[in-house]
Amino acid sequence: MKDNQQVKPAAPDPRDTPTSFEVTIQQLNDLLTDDSGLYSWPTKHFHEVYPRIYVGNAFVAMNVMRLKRQGITHILNGAEGNSFMHVDTNAEFYAGTGITYHGVAASDTDHFNISVYFEEAADFIEKALAYKNGKGKVYVHCREGYSRSPTLVIAYLMLCKSMDVHTALAMVRQKREIGPNDGFLLQLCQLNQRLAAEGKLWNK
């Protein structure tokens, strides 16, 4: 698998052309780690990773007062469910708060297909930001705000802001310590390839 450049000699080497849509999981992991190849755990409960998009953990998601103080109008739970790996909130949990809720039941495992949620999550984030003439703020979370929720935000930046996967991932990583699992990174690479082939990325 590693030597796919030899199988397809005609393909440009992604190391020579970082904007090529031949993106590898390794390249994305390089963006996520420090010089020693180490990942960092988030230093805060949540971070604003793009104007009015916040990525964070379950602790803040369940603290309605804190969300209101932050001016959050919409919540996207990327880990909906009632197992210990999930966050058991729903629309009823936020009833009466004025906060609009959407949940996706993703699991943080390499073999989980989170890409089936990319479009609906992106639509929800887009609507949230457009709320009240562009005054909406969306809190995108999972358990730790480390793998599932940043993956959904990166997909949003690719689908709705025409960013390539390098740019989108680097932008989120610059604001928050994240570490989507390799399965999720692969699905983001595949999304990158599809959007590039459709001519929908500005960094082609």
Query: pLDDT tens-digit profile of 189-203?
Result: 999 999 999 999 875
Q: What is the residue whose two structure tokens read 């990319």?
A: 118
Q: Are 142 and 150 in contact (CB under 8 A)?
A: no
Q: What is the mean pLDDT of the chain?
A: 90
Round to whole Å and give the CA distance between 141 and 32: 19
User: Could you report the per-residue pLDDT of 162-196, keeping only the tens digit for each?
Assistant: 999 999 999 999 999 999 999 999 999 999 999 99
Q: What is the DSSP string of 72-95?
A: --EEEETTBSSSTTSB---TGGGT
What does the radius of gyration of the chain's CA atoms come to, in whole angstroms? 17
pLDDT of residue 20: 47
Query: What is the domain partition of the chain in residue ranges?
Result: 45-187
77 beta partners? 103, 141
Both tokens of residue 10? Answer: 């005609």
DSSP lists the bridge partners of residue 54 as 48, 139
**Per-residue pLDDT, 18:** 44
**Percent of the residues in the chain that have a pLDDT greater than 90, as a whole number:** 84
Query: Which pLDDT score is estimated for 35?
Result: 84
Measured distance CA(95)–CA(196) in Å, rounded: 40
Catalytically annotated residues: 142
Measured CA to CA, the distance from residue 75 to residue 87 in angstroms comes to 12
Tens-digit pLDDT profile for residues 20-56: 456 889 999 999 998 888 999 999 999 999 999 999 9
Task: Flag whether pLDDT at 137 surpasses 80.
Answer: yes
CATH of 45-187, picked from 3.90.190.10, 3.30.365.10, 3.50.40.10, 3.40.350.10, is: 3.90.190.10
